[in-house]
Amino acid sequence: MAELLPLITKSLAPYLDRRVWWLAFSGGLDSQVLLHLVWRLREDARSSNTPFPEIRAIHVNHQLQAASAAWAVQCEQQCAVYHIPFTLKVVTVSGRRRGVEDLARDARYREFETALDSGDLLLLAHHLDDQAETLLLRLLRGAGVNGLAAMPASRALGAGELCRPLLATPRAALEAYAAAQQLTWLDDPSNFDTHYRRNFLRQRVLPLFAQHWPDYRQSFGRAAALQAEAAQLLHGYINQDLAGMCADDGSLDLRALALLPDIRQRAILRQFIINRSELALSSAQLETIAAQFLQSSADRQPAFRLAAGVLLRAYNQHLFCETAVAETSSPLPSELAWDLNSELLIPGVGRLVATRGGVFVPTEPVLIRFRQGGERCRLAGHAHHRPLKKLLQEWRLPPWQREVLPLIYCGGELAAVADLAVCDGFSAAVGEEGWKIRWVPEALT
């Protein structure tokens, strides 16, 4: 249909300043139409000598069909016709606890995320029929407002962003465009296998919807858009709550949280974990976490392990969500030299950064060590040495962070404790410029 070109021109106009547009190209009808449309946009720009982003295609071979390697070859040949660089990614889909559809999607998006550099745009050919199917599938799973928002038209992805410029367009419009342009495409036979939930909806259920509600796609699309608006408003309110309940170290004050109604507690907990780890929780997980951390005594330090190496841990009535840095398989180095002029990366632990304009003044070459026990420090401006153990307790540093806290030594003497304190004898005098130390642990941000 002729109107698809102006539609996609308008949809992609905000992204013309991007360096690269990646196009997720499966070779099926949807991505063939999108590839052809984007190619036409580029050709129009070239004919008018107008700058245009570089277009690249990326194809993910999930190795789930015998013909998948041949499909990849055909996709590459199609891209060569349009003079569009082609990238092939081959993945292995494995796992037992989730369906093959979800596992393949996760593998595919990991490859997309890896491909994108800062500011790059990934174009996906999802359309209005896909959105209707997604909404119904999530409704059948009992999803809340976030899930029922279905697929967003755009969102961040790794260092870049993804965009679905055809999301409001029904598949019938894509079919008509493909016929008018005499496009050919690949048909994956698995798309007709009703063993898969989405295919069952597409082949068996939604045709019945169409008989009684011909405009169901548009209705579902509007419903998803309304849920997305509601979710955005809800996130704003919850993040306002979080801003007043989170400490400088990013932990959540459980005492303040416990004063709120249960429904608000769960909403804040869910958003706190999403903000810190990008992990979405099931209702069952959320109930367990709320019970474990909000109903435990003040002297307990419960822990709850999530996916991707993320741990929830409580200390001093604060909830921390971070990677298990203390459980790194590599032992901590006994000693590291640091010249302060460059960042010091400690793999699996974090990094140290020094900039001018601080109060730390090293008297000899700087060495980095970690706690062995028995360390003592006389803080700048204090009269007596004190055990480091006691200081860390007073500073309320969680126990699992103390073991990986870098200690800064000069001439065999403890000179500073990461970015927490400078010891006596290593502090800048009035008018003297020293170094400002910043310790960035390898945790979730």
Locus of tokens 């958003």: 271
Q: Which distant-in-sequence residues (6+ apart) come within 8 Å of 92 by Cβ?
A: 63, 107
Q: Is 27 annotated as a binding residue?
A: yes
User: What DSSP string runs through 158-222?
Assistant: TTEEEE-TTTTS-HHHHHHHHHHTT------GGGG-TTSHHHHIIIIIHHHHHHH-TTHHHHHHH
**Phi-psi map region of 389: left, alpha, beta (phi>0 left; psi -120 to 50 alpha):** alpha
- Element spanning 57, H or E: strand 54-61
> What's the burial of 252, exposed, middle or buried (CB within 10 Å: 0-12/13-18/19+)?
buried
Q: Is 29 annotated as a binding residue?
A: yes
Q: Is 28 annotated as a binding residue?
A: yes
Name the CA radius of gyration of the chain, rounded. Answer: 28
- Element spanning 131, H or E: helix 128-140
Q: Is 31 annotated as a binding residue?
A: yes
Q: Which distant-in-sequence residues (6+ apart) come within 8 Å of 305 by Cβ?
A: 311, 312, 324
Q: Is 30 annotated as a binding residue?
A: yes
Collapsing DSSP to helix, strand or coil, 287 comes out as helix
| Residue count of the chain | 445
CA nearest 41: which of 32, 50, 28?
Answer: 50
CA nearest 21: which of 1, 49, 47, 51?
Answer: 51
CA dihedral 407, 331, 344, 311 (to 10 degrees): -90
User: What DSSP string runs through 363-427?
Assistant: SS-EEEE---S--EE-BTT-SS-EEHHHHHHHTT--HHHHTT--EEEETTEEEEETTTEEBTTSB
Partners of 358 in beta bridges: 434
What is the distance in angstroms between the CA of the first residue and the CA of the last residue of the chain?
45
Locus of tokens 């460059």: 342
Q: Where are the beta strands (DSSP E) in 85-187?
A: 86-90, 121-123, 154-157, 160-163
Partners of 303 in beta bridges: 313
Binding-site positions: 26-31
The annotated binding site for ATP is made up of 26-31
